[in-house]
Structure 1
Amino acid sequence: MNWLPLLHRSNDVKFIIFGGGQVAHRKVQTLIKFTEAITVVSPELDSRLQALVSKGRIQHIQSLAQQEHVLVGYRIVAATDNAKVNQQIASWAKALSCPVSIADDPSHSDFIFPAIIDRNPVMIAISSASESPALTRYLRNQLDAALSSRIPQLAQFTASLRRSIRSRFDDSKKRQQLWRTLMSSAMPNLVLAGKEDQAQAICDDVIAGKGHNGEVFLVGAGPGDPELLTLKAVRLIQQADVVFYDRLVSPAILEYCNSKAEMHYVGKAKSDHAVPQTEINQLLADHAKMGKTVLRLKGGDPFIFGRGGEEIELLADQQVPFQVVPGITAASGCSSYAGIPLTHRDYAQSVRFVTGHLKDGSANLPWSELIHPQQTLVIYMGLTGISHISQELMAHGMSSDTPIALIEKGTLPEQKVYTSTLADISDVIANNSISAPTLTIVGDVVRLHKKLSWYS
């Protein structure tokens, strides 16, 4: 490693920047957040730099680069659009032992500019040692999007907590043990969720040596494609101590889990429940009561045919803290990847979600309520009963030539879409090996599949 990352107190650092164009402006953009001691030397300035001069944010010397502009005690940035001029500026700086940064020439620079994520007072600097600025910007954007906007609140909370712990405990080993417990508890996530009072209660219990509950996160994993996870879901998946996951959670999503997390498969298929629902509910509560961060990871959205309500009812009854993170439901994700809009002004003005697999194992749906013109019908978990469902829909008045689509493994690389009509869908199933998970869409919007299909 050729570059040592250090943090300098910004009010002690002064800069002279040579250049008035885009490169110089980028350097000023970074520096102006930390210091007002910035002087730009250039015959002309672009409009953005000129605006900063007009506002008194930076100083401007209207001149070509001269040796007299390099001053002892300043850091020098050579950012003109002329490489030879930049080298000359660098030689002046080195003669006076001034640290210098040369645009597009890190090998002769004394310092370089990282990309910065600002969550004051938390700051993250990212650098590729100037080898790939595009990569640096990409990584900054990825990390910036993933970090909660409430990081400053968490920083303030832990800073106050640190002062309290230091005033109460002289033993450094005891303090370290407390911090390990606190940072692995529900405290950080409660602060990030804006629940400082609950977070403080956990801190008080930990400091007093009392037991404390962890927290359960009921998280929707979406329809399968890991890039459809929400940012909050990814963060919680990575932090969980214990993970209870369903059959519909794709392996690619499980890769985000902490390698040290306890993994428990509690998936369900028709007539094959790995763990009964009532046991799952209690397992979530029991592990949280051990002080662990518990993740209940469910395919799609936990509140849409996902039994999420049943699970958190027990948590509420037993006063176990929980949060719910919605996910992209299969209807939205699979229809989008199949090029079938659920609503469209020319085809459907409403959409209805139903499940083809009810609690008693039957598919006794309110058939007459499902027969409406210009309505899209989405059927979850209906593959095995689709022939019966299509016959009932037709028997209750839906046209036999109504389009129907079966979306197998929607949003995943293995996705397949089968289209037909209510009258002929049984033949499609008989002539193809279609397996779960498969979502069914019934309605005129299915006609748009061939025209709007974009994912293959």
Structure 2
Amino acid sequence: MTLFPIFAQLTGKPVLVVGGGSVAERKAQSLLRAGALVRVGAPTLTPALSELASQGRISWLAGNFVPGWLDDVWLVIAATSDNELNAQVAKLAEEARIWANVVDDPANCSFHVPAIVDRSPVTIAISSGGHAPVLARRIREKLETLIDHSTGSLAALVARYREVIRKAHPQLSGRRGFYDWLIDGPVGGALRSQQPEHAETLLQQALKQPQAPAVGKVILVSAGPGDPGLLTLKALRALNEADVILYDRLVSQDVLDLARRDADLVYVGKSPGENHHQTQERIHQAMIDHARAGRKVVRLKGGDAFIFGRGGEELAVLAEQGIAYEVVPGVTAAIACAAYAGIPLTHRHVSQGLHLLTAHSALAQDQPDWASLAREKQTLGFYMGVTQLPEVVRQLIGHGMRPDMPFALIENGSRPGQRTLTGKLEDLEHLAREHAMQAPSLLLIGEVVRLSEQLHWFGQRYDHLSEAVLEAA
């Protein structure tokens, strides 16, 4: 069966839904969103349909189906559990030249209801000809992740200025370029940032120029701890739209594999022993140069760029240079590693607070308040902690933390090679050496670590807390 795809204008037009169950309810609600005058025929209705009828939003034809229900309607959907009745409705509709859909019965349908991606006024419909609705649904799910919800706002804005754009850019090639600029440039960015008035101002300013110049931008994208499944939908879209991707050492190959195939991948990671200040300066300059050349730049950072990721520093440089930017936050390492190790960061009666720190601060001139960190009923999360383990242990125990306080050292959190080492704080240094724990690793300290014995579910776990657990029980 080959279907001819169309989009029906149903605003103010009567349509009929035969059936009063949950399926009929979904169909009626979809038709209402399209502006149709919905009539529902059935002996009884679901509570939601009854509510719609009492509000006057649908008309209820109470009772069993009669052919007169089809009078004056533009289309009909048969959604009862009676196959013979559904077939009768379809036959009568065919004779009256009324478009008919029978739910889950492609042979009796003269039109099909597709899976829909709704970015009104933009609508994307996917059909399998009624033969593989699960496949159509899966395709819809993929499209949902790729098409930003601001697309509808952009389409509405363009509709208002369509004639003005046509006059400003009478040549088709120039008009196409302008539309590309609208979508990929600052107007689209302003809409994604929920700034519709600013977007319209930018559009008006651009229309005063014969040709809008190429304008680049930077999207600061947080890639999460490594599992590509933890990327946000916005991060995935950014990777698929980027011209250039500047990525760090901790960004996994699985995440990079999701990027646009023809994007330039540029490694800008910092290595141990390297002058990090100079490297950071080179990163700043690379962002500026690519953006000024009119490219869409994704600055891709592991974890979350705003938690020990220097994201604020990089945005400050872009702001000083007048370069447009957006921020896509991600799942930070502490949250992801703890979850994958089965360790809740807070837990009733055990931990009512959470401190996130970088272990490098243990040797820094401005040290944290170790006495405050050593208190009970809180969880400590140390980033970049492998080389500083002895100092962290010394400071915490020296400021009053119990030597038997549980710790978890999580290596390669959320990745296929994840390893979790648990034990007592006083044993942390030699256990980490014994198991050859390597960076990147996250250190968690607190009573919540004990829960990993029961809740651990991902990767390997080396448990040196069992004796303490038995004593606590």
The answer to whether the Cα contact below 8 Å between 1:188 and 1:199 also exists between their aligned partners in 2 is no
- Between the two proteins, the alignment pairs up a number of residues equal to 454
The answer to whether the Cα contact below 8 Å between 1:266 and 1:273 also exists between their aligned partners in 2 is no
**Structure 2 CA distance for partners of 1:52 and 1:312, relative to 1, 3 Å:** closer
Deviation at 1:279, TM superposition (A): 0.5
Structure 1 position 118 matched with structure 2 position 118: yes
1:313 paired residue number: 316
The answer to whether the Cα contact below 8 Å between 2:181 and 2:214 also exists between their aligned partners in 1 is no
1:248 paired residue number: 250
Q: Counterparts in 2 of 1:354-373, with a 5 A limit? A: 354-357=357-360, 365-366=367-368, 368-369=370-371, 370-373=373-376
User: Which segment is superposed worse, 186-195 or 197-206?
Assistant: 197-206
Deviation at 1:281, TM superposition (A): 0.7
The answer to whether the Cα contact below 8 Å between 1:72 and 1:96 also exists between their aligned partners in 2 is no
Deviation at 1:244, TM superposition (A): 0.7
User: Which segment is superposed worse, 230-239 or 204-213?
Assistant: 204-213
Structure 1 position 375 matched with structure 2 position 378: yes
Letter in 1 for 2:249: R
Partner Cα distance (2:38, 2:54) in 1: 14
The answer to whether the Cα contact below 8 Å between 1:337 and 1:455 also exists between their aligned partners in 2 is yes
User: Which segment is superposed worse, 342-351 or 238-247?
Assistant: 342-351
1:340 paired residue number: 343
Partner Cα distance (1:25, 1:368) in 2: 60
1:103-136 Cα deviation digits (max 9, x unpaired): 2211231101123343332223233433344555
Structure 1 position 453 matched with structure 2 position 456: yes
Q: Counterparts in 2 of 1:79-90, with a 5 A limit? A: 79-90=79-90
The answer to whether the Cα contact below 8 Å between 2:178 and 2:212 also exists between their aligned partners in 1 is no
1:356-391 Cα deviation digits (max 9, x unpaired): 236xx9566447444333332221111123234324
2:202 paired residue number: 201
1:384 paired residue number: 387
* 397, 403, 407: which one aligns with 1:394: 397
Identity %: 38
Partner Cα distance (2:378, 2:305) in 1: 24
The answer to whether the Cα contact below 8 Å between 2:222 and 2:304 also exists between their aligned partners in 1 is yes
Deviation at 1:222, TM superposition (A): 1.6
Partner Cα distance (2:27, 2:38) in 1: 10
Structure 1 position 222 matched with structure 2 position 227: no
**Structure 2 CA distance for partners of 1:200 and 1:294, relative to 1, 3 Å:** farther
Structure 1 position 129 matched with structure 2 position 129: yes
The answer to whether the Cα contact below 8 Å between 1:312 and 1:322 also exists between their aligned partners in 2 is yes
Partner Cα distance (1:239, 1:204) in 2: 25
Letter in 1 for 2:108: H
Q: Counterparts in 2 of 1:37-186, with a 5 A limit? A: 37-71=37-71, 74-134=74-134, 136-137=136-137, 140=140, 143-144=143-144, 147-186=147-186
The answer to whether the Cα contact below 8 Å between 1:154 and 1:192 also exists between their aligned partners in 2 is no
1:288 paired residue number: 291
The normalised TM-score by structure 1 is: 0.88
Partner Cα distance (1:36, 1:397) in 2: 70
User: Which segment is superposed worse, 382-391 or 243-252?
Assistant: 382-391
The answer to whether the Cα contact below 8 Å between 2:10 and 2:36 also exists between their aligned partners in 1 is no
Q: What secondary structure sits across from 2:387 in the alignment? A: coil
Partner Cα distance (2:86, 2:71) in 1: 16
Partner Cα distance (1:312, 1:340) in 2: 33
Partner Cα distance (1:74, 1:349) in 2: 60
* 429, 436, 449: which one aligns with 1:426: 429
2:188 paired residue number: 188
Q: What secondary structure sits across from 1:10 in the alignment? A: coil
Partner Cα distance (1:210, 1:87) in 2: 57
Partner Cα distance (1:48, 1:374) in 2: 47
The answer to whether the Cα contact below 8 Å between 1:288 and 1:320 also exists between their aligned partners in 2 is yes
Deviation at 1:212, TM superposition (A): 4.8
Partner Cα distance (1:396, 1:57) in 2: 68
Deviation at 1:252, TM superposition (A): 2.4
User: Structure 2: which 5+ residue stretches go unaligned?
Assistant: 460-473
Partner Cα distance (1:96, 1:448) in 2: 67
* 211, 232, 239: which one aligns with 1:237: 239
2:260 paired residue number: 258
Q: What secondary structure sits across from 2:33 in the alignment? A: coil
**Structure 2 CA distance for partners of 1:375 and 1:406, relative to 1, 3 Å:** same
* 442, 445, 450: which one aligns with 1:439: 442
2:463 paired residue number: none
1:211-256 Cα deviation digits (max 9, x unpaired): 4532212121122222322333222222222111112112222233
2:356 paired residue number: 353
Letter in 2 for 1:414: G
Letter in 2 for 1:334: C
Deviation at 1:326, TM superposition (A): 2.3
1:130-180 Cα deviation digits (max 9, x unpaired): 334455556556655765444332222222343222122322222123223
Partner Cα distance (1:256, 1:71) in 2: 53
Q: What secondary structure sits across from 1:304 in the alignment? A: coil
Letter in 2 for 1:27: K
1:318-372 Cα deviation digits (max 9, x unpaired): 12122223222211221122122223343333332222236xx956644744433
The normalised TM-score by structure 2 is: 0.85
User: Structure 1: which 5+ residue stretches go unaligned?
Assistant: none
The answer to whether the Cα contact below 8 Å between 2:218 and 2:287 also exists between their aligned partners in 1 is yes
Partner Cα distance (1:41, 1:199) in 2: 46
1:385-439 Cα deviation digits (max 9, x unpaired): 3234324443444333222211011122322110122322232223223222110
1:250-281 Cα deviation digits (max 9, x unpaired): 22222332222221111223225798110001
**Structure 2 CA distance for partners of 1:152 and 1:381, relative to 1, 3 Å:** same
